[in-house]
Amino acid sequence: MCYVGVRRTAGEMALLCKPTVHVPEHVITLDDTLAIARRLHAGHPDLGLVLRLITSTGVRTRHLVQPIGRTLRHPGFEARNRVFTAEAKRRIPAVVASALVHAGLEAEDIDLIVFVSCTGFGMPSLTAWMINTLGFRPQTRQLPIAQLGCAGGGAAINRAHDFCTAHQGANALVLACEFCSLCYQPTDLGVGQLLSNGLFGDAVAAVVVRGDDQATGIRLDGGASYLIPDTEDWISYAVRSTGFHFQLDRRVPRTMEPLAPVLQELAKDHHQDPSGLDFYIIHAGGPRILDDLSRFLGVPAQAFRHSRATLTEHGNIASAVVLDALRRLFDAGGVPDGGSGMIAGFGPGITAEMAMGTWTDRTRPAGRPRLEEPL
């Protein structure tokens, strides 16, 4: 097995702080989803199978940026993209402000913004708007990531790690903005497409990676990337005049078998037992991913409880999944100081973005006032 890995050396530091996650106010339950599927696709020959698959995902609630009636209408790609930009600008400021509070930093302390989204597009990136309106310095570097799908959250953490270790003392902000409901396509009637209609949700999430150890968080010890050969058409978008059409190959649920050895090798490269880590933050694209990793890595299902909770309460929120699962780890009190763990996101390619980290318990920096959290 071969992957590209980065290991931390003395004097370099990247500390992943507590994330902030926002889910929109419009809620759709599993019962709502099943009722809509029955109403819209009453004559579909595979309706029974679709209903069983949606139920088996374990998703109980999802959050949408628009009411369900508006979500189910398709006013065109241009109109939907306008909604993406408007809703992002409405929700991002409070999420960013809260993530900065968690890190004990101000906007002017950030040297890089990594912006991740696979559900909307604009040029310039929303990073330019953030710099102009949210107090970031004009010198702040921008790194938009658009085409890694659900792997984007892991990739953003790894790119922030790369930057902070390359530039001693630098700080990075990772922001994931995913409005998957804006990609709903009423004319896509394949089983995989109908399943996705009951799986994906919307969220905005942000986290700071500090270039020092002056906060409680996860010290990022090294990252890795891996692409399963010849699988680039297994998860994809067909880009048409109506927007992004999600395409999912039936072989995708079996991808954990080739990826598990990569995760094991990464842990061993950092002198850790892959079956005995203190925390696992894994992209919850569906329950099969977590079930298979539990079996292949030899860890109890409980090890993935934070990822399962994200899937159950929010659905698959694409690149924001790993940030929400991380937030749950922090809310649960983390693990004992020095505990080791793994972060992994999976997406199109098929691509895996992985990182090893060590829980680091620190007090807030002296002399920095604690601000009231806006969220």
Which residues are identified as catalytic?
A: 150
Query: Which two structure tokens, joined as six digits, stand for 283?
Result: 């992209």
CA distance 124 to 355: 29
Residue 231: strand pairing partners: 349
Query: Three-class SS string for the chain?
Result: CCCEEEECCCCCCCEECCCEEECCCEEEEHHHHHHHHHHHCCCCCCHHHHHHHHHHCCCCEEEECCCHHHHCCCCCHHHHHHHHHHHHHHHHHHHHHHHHHHHCCCHHHCCEEEEECCCCCCCCCHHHHHHHHCCCCCCCEEEEECCCHHHHHHHHHHHHHHHHHHCCCCCEEEEEEEEHHHHCCCCCCCHHHHHHCCCECEEEEEEEEECCCCCCEEEEEEEEEEEEEEECCCEEEEEECCEEEEEECCCHHHCHHHHHHHHHHHHHHCCCCCCCCCEEEECCCCHHHHHHHHHHHCCCHHHHHHHHHHHHHHCECHHHHHHHHHHHHHHCCCCCCCCEEEEEEEECEEEEEEEEEEEECCCCCCCCCCCCCCC
CA distance 43 to 46: 9
Please count the other Cβ atoms lying within 10 Å of the Cβ belonging to residue 3: 16
Q: Is the peptide bond before 289 cis (omega within 30 degrees of 0)?
A: no
